Amino acid sequence: MHASQGRLSVRELAEELGYSERNVRRLFMKELGVGPKKLLDIVRFQYVLQRLHQGPAIPLTDLALAYGYSDQPHFSADFKRFYGLSPKQAFQPD
C-alpha cells in the first residue's frame, strides 16, 4: 500500500496478496475495522499532504492527477473528508 502511495486498486492488492477481493475486504474489516479501499484512500491522502508540505507549490489539479484522482472534484471531496476543510479553505491566506 505504501509502495504505491495508495494508488492501488483493491483488485491489484488482492492479486499481490494472493487472495480474492472478497477475502481481502473481509480480512481488512476483521483485523483493521476498515475496508481496503478506505485505507488505500487514507494512505494516498497522507502522501498528498506530505507532497504539499514538501514544496515547491504545485497546482492542485496537477497534484490530484499525479496521485490518481480522476479529477479535481474527487480530490476536493477526499480532501474535505480527511482534512475537514476544502483545499481552498485550507490554503486561503489569512
- Compute the average pLDDT of residues 53-59: 85
Domain range summary for the chain, segments of one domain joined by +: 10-90
Which pTM was predicted? 0.87
Examine the pLDDT at 89 and tell me if it is beyond 80: yes
The more confidently predicted of residues 52 and 15 is: 15
Distance CA 33, CA 35 (A): 7
Q: Fold for domain 10-90?
A: Arc Repressor Mutant, subunit A (1.10.10)
Residue corresponding to grid cell 480530490 = 75
Q: For 7-38, write each residue's pLDDT tens digit.
A: 999 999 999 999 999 999 999 999 999 999 99
Alpha helices in the chain (DSSP H): 10-17, 21-32, 36-54, 60-66, 72-83, 87-90
- The sign one gets for the Cα dihedral 76, 82, 88, 91 is negative
Distance CA 17, CA 7 (A): 16
- Least Cα distance to 59 among 75, 78, 45, 43 occurs for 75
Distance CA 56, CA 90 (A): 17
